[in-house]
Amino acid sequence: MKVAIAQITSIPNPERNLRLCRKIIAKAAANGAELVAFPESSDVIFGPGCESADERKELKRTKAFRDGMGQAAKENSVWVVFGCHMPYHADPKMWRNTCLTYNPSGELVHSYDKLHPCEATLPDMTISESSTCVSGSASQSGLEILKVQSRDGETWNFGITICYDIRYPQLFSYLRARGAEAFIVSTAWFPTTRRHWDPLLTARAIDNQAYIVAPGQVGKHHEERESLGASTVVDPWGDKVVRLPSIADRKDGQKMNGKQVQMNGTSSSSSSSKSANAPVHETSTNYAHNGNGKTLHAPSGDIELGSDGSWDHLGDDGSDGGGGEGCAIGYAVLRKEKVKALREMVPIWDNLRTELYGRPDGR
């Protein structure tokens, strides 16, 4: 099954964000994707132009975003998974940090509320997500497995998680025990903890012998908020199928050689530009279990591709529906036989010491 991960920069403008997301869904569907996964808070990053308190009173703009995403799923006959803000009716000041799934008929079929709000005191910031978003209930239906039927008739079992959840291996083990073969991790990761990102994704993939599909926000949302990017799909062996640019990858004045391409997908003969569309050079990557891959090096970030991975530009035409620096679409072919073969070769889940630490699914 071919999936797409959308790396976007949501801003305090849900209408613009919807136009961008709809553009991505249509583009990904035209390129054969059956499921398109978006980051956490795809509907809006609150700030000047759409403040949390103002939207909490009306709820019109975020609702219009959700309705538009469902319509786009139906129009393009694809599964659409995205992070958004849902009202918490018990407290008029609070939100639920939610990941919704619409099927190709445009029906809402799955809703997961983030279990673990981000709480951190970092050198450059203090984060307390619990001051604005409630923790998801341990009894919520969102902890059920999302079953996605691909066009070839296979049914994939997805576990749905959000961002900071990646730090809790117990949640992933719980979902794996309930049948998960792949996980979606909808994310808006802070650059300060960028060194944690790749190891956490790889660890969760290896721990559970499953795919990790992690779309992330990228770049500056407004003057006080920025996200890492580095949206990634990792296969069950821990190899990257596709990895999109990160703001931590930027290399100014990089020497250009080899195959010349631009971040927006067009060829280029220039070798001196330092813009987001500067030419990049390509190097080979030898993945142990993912075929020979390649890395595209650019000032706006590296794109890593395994044999089952590809990418596409969003284009930045200057309109509010265009992309931007670091924005891109990644594609990955998920292979059920790869999951099955690894679990048979290395049957770690057949030897759990449940008498010591219990069953991962709590049963």
Instruction: In whole angstroms, give the CA distance from residue 354 to residue 130.
Output: 33
Listed in sequence order, the residues at least 6 apart from 139 whose beta carbon sits closer than 8 Å to its beta carbon are none
Q: Are 329 and 311 in contact (CB under 8 A)?
A: yes
Q: What's the rounded mean pLDDT across residues 81-99?
A: 93
Tens digit of each residue's pLDDT (9 = 90 or more) over 228-251: 889 999 999 999 999 998 888 754
CA 15, 44, 314, 306 torsion-angle sign: negative
Which residue ranges form the domains of the chain, and what is each CATH number?
A: 2-250+306-357 (3.60.110.10)
CB 244 within 8 A of CB 5: yes
The confidence score (pLDDT) of residue 316 equals 55
The radius of gyration computed from the CA coordinates of the chain, to the nearest angstrom, equals 20
Tokens of 263: 């971040």
Question: Is this model's pTM higher than 0.85 or not?
Answer: yes
Q: How large is the angle between the packed helices 14-30 and 60-76, nearest 10 degrees?
A: 10
SS3 of residue 65 by DSSP: helix
164-195 per-position pLDDT tens digit: 999 999 999 999 999 999 999 999 988 888 88
Answer whether residue 264 shows pLDDT above 60. Answer: no
Q: Please answer whether residues 89 and 176 qualify as being in contact, where contact means their C-beta atoms are separated by less than 8 angstroms.
A: no
In contact, 156 and 181? CB cutoff 8 Å: yes
Q: Which whole number is the average pLDDT over 290-296?
A: 71
**What pLDDT score was predicted for residue 322?**
58
Q: Are strands 232-234 and 240-243 parallel, antiparallel or unpaired?
A: antiparallel
Model confidence pLDDT, tens digit, residues 3-22: 999 999 999 999 999 999 99
pLDDT for position 267: 30
Say which residue, 275 or 363, is predicted with more confidence.
363
Least confident of 95-99, 136-140, 270-274: 270-274
